[in-house]
Amino acid sequence: MEVKAGYKQTEAGVIPEEWKYSTVGELVRDGVLEKPLDGNHGNIHPKSGDFVSFGIPFVMANNIREGRVDLKNCTFIKKEQADSLQKGFSRSGDVLLTHKATIGNTAVVGNIPFEYLMLTPQVTYYRVSNAERLSNLYLRQFFDGSFFQSTLRSMSGGGTRAYIGITAQLQLPVVIPSTKAEQDSIAEALSDADALIESLDQLITKKRQIKQGAMQELLTGKRRLPGFSGEWEVKRLADLADIRSGGTPSTAQPQFWDGGVKWCTPTDITALDGFKYLSNTARTISAEGLKASSAEIIPKHSIVMTSRATIGECAINTVPMTTNQGFKNFVPFDSVDAEFLYYLLTTQRAGFIGLCSGSTFLEIGKTQLSGYQVQVPKTKSEQTAIATILSDMDTELAALESRLAKARQLKQGMMQELLTGRIRLL
């Protein structure tokens, strides 16, 4: 492939001629980076019994997310113990990289009210020693880029046992724009994208908490909506809906499968990722398979609910379908609002699990669910009013999550263009 004027071909792909393709080891040799270090291995590695309520943060791989170090949820060790360790002392400005099991998460250590952070052997710090030649903020963004991440995973072996040690990390690639000003411009543009992502993420978290609070109040009658009064009723679930079981046709009979009847499994519910409406299933069965199994057609606007292993995951089916045997499904009676029942069921998981039987996996039966008691408004109109408020909250959350997904896609596109020099900011 012909390389256009002003660019050159490197192991990282085509980059501007004046940019440098290097490795971590070469940057250490040239005095741009200090030698990367991780936390203490072996007998001196802090144990769970060493953790205290306050001291020096002991930063693990799961404390590094979205470019930041989560100090609120990390553990601590005594400063006396931390001072006695040999390495892994991370300071403000360090770029952190997870390199064991959880591979490729990055962060920049910000201003911290501690002398240092202590790292586990899962985390490496990269410390810039010549800030005129390399921006730490640019380095972190480069580490997040697709070329570096794919190289990192290739060298670490991938999978749950993925690992890349310090010596191997010296061979990791770094592409560096020739001027600090260009590095800073790239880092600033990508950091602005990070800020948008973080703000949306925080807003979604806040809205979810508000919704959770609203559910706790509205679905228990602690807070009543205007225009409604009177005591709620205690009802059995069997008084609210026709409870139907799922079933699975024989897998040895190919004529039972790939027909026109949608057949839901727990994987279909998981794929919704919290979205409440289910319209498609990964598999279908035939009318013959339906007759040859205990599966039953669940009419649309019912609630399908997992009842085995993972208990109480719900969705509202928008089209008729069947489910496998790991479900108990609710066809609401005319006096019951389907969306209200959906929200109510999602708050009962702990109660359902408490009734479960089975030694190899949890399972709740139709008889147990039928007798399970809940409090409900006497009128369907109040049920509908409550469901409408919660549904509006879900709609707002879905819109925000869509914006977040688009913001992340936008940043990925920006990284692909900026970290390869296809788009120049200076």
For residues 248 and 299, membership in a common domain is answered with: yes
Identity at 134, one-letter amino acid code = L
For residues 396 and 369, membership in a common domain is answered with: no
Alpha-carbon gap, residue 411 to 105, rounded angstroms: 16
**Would you say residue 2 lies in a domain?**
no
Question: Residue 329's domain is classified under what CATH number?
Answer: 3.90.220.20
Quickly count: other Cβ atoms within 10 Å of residue 375's Cβ: 13
Average pLDDT over residues 179-201: 96
**Would you say residue 287 lies in a domain?**
yes
Alpha-carbon gap, residue 28 to 128, rounded angstroms: 9
Question: Residue 387's domain is classified under what CATH number?
Answer: 1.10.287.1120
For residues 290 and 383, membership in a common domain is answered with: no
For residues 303 and 405, membership in a common domain is answered with: no
pLDDT per residue over 58-114, tens digit each? 999 999 988 889 998 999 999 999 999 999 999 999 999 999 988 999 999 999 999
For residues 25 and 110, membership in a common domain is answered with: yes
- Please work out, in degrees rounded to the nearest 5, the angle formed at the alpha carbon of residue 304 by the alpha carbons of 303 and 308: 140
- Residues 219-237 as b/e (b if ≥16 CB within 10 A, e otherwise) read bebeebeeeeeeeeeeeeb
Closest CA to 341 of 314, 372, 321, 309: 314
Host H or E run for residue 298: none
Structure tokens at 209: 């908490």
Q: Answer whether residue 32 shows pLDDT above 80.
A: yes
pLDDT per residue over 127-180, tens digit each? 999 999 999 999 999 999 999 999 999 999 866 688 999 999 999 999 999 999
Among residues of the chain, what percentage have pLDDT more than 90? Answer: 88
**Would you say residue 335 lies in a domain?**
yes
Least confident range of 108-122, 189-203, 348-362: 348-362
SS3 405: helix
Task: Give the pTM.
Answer: 0.84
Whole-number pLDDT of residue 186? 97
Whole-number pLDDT of residue 358? 63
Q: Which domain holds residue 131?
A: 7-177
Structure tokens at 160: 């749950």
For residues 155 and 225, membership in a common domain is answered with: no
Closest CA to 311 of 359, 268, 386, 361: 361
Query: Do the Cβ atoms of 400 and 203 come closer than 8 Å?
Result: yes
**Would you say residue 1 lies in a domain?**
no
For residues 251 and 399, membership in a common domain is answered with: no
SS3 262: strand
Average pLDDT over residues 320-334: 96
Domain count within the chain = 3
For residues 225 and 264, membership in a common domain is answered with: no
Mean pLDDT of the chain: 94
For residues 400 and 312, membership in a common domain is answered with: no
pLDDT per residue over 294-317, tens digit each? 999 999 999 999 998 889 999 999
Alpha-carbon gap, residue 64 to 154, rounded angstroms: 21
Tokens 């035939």 correspond to 286
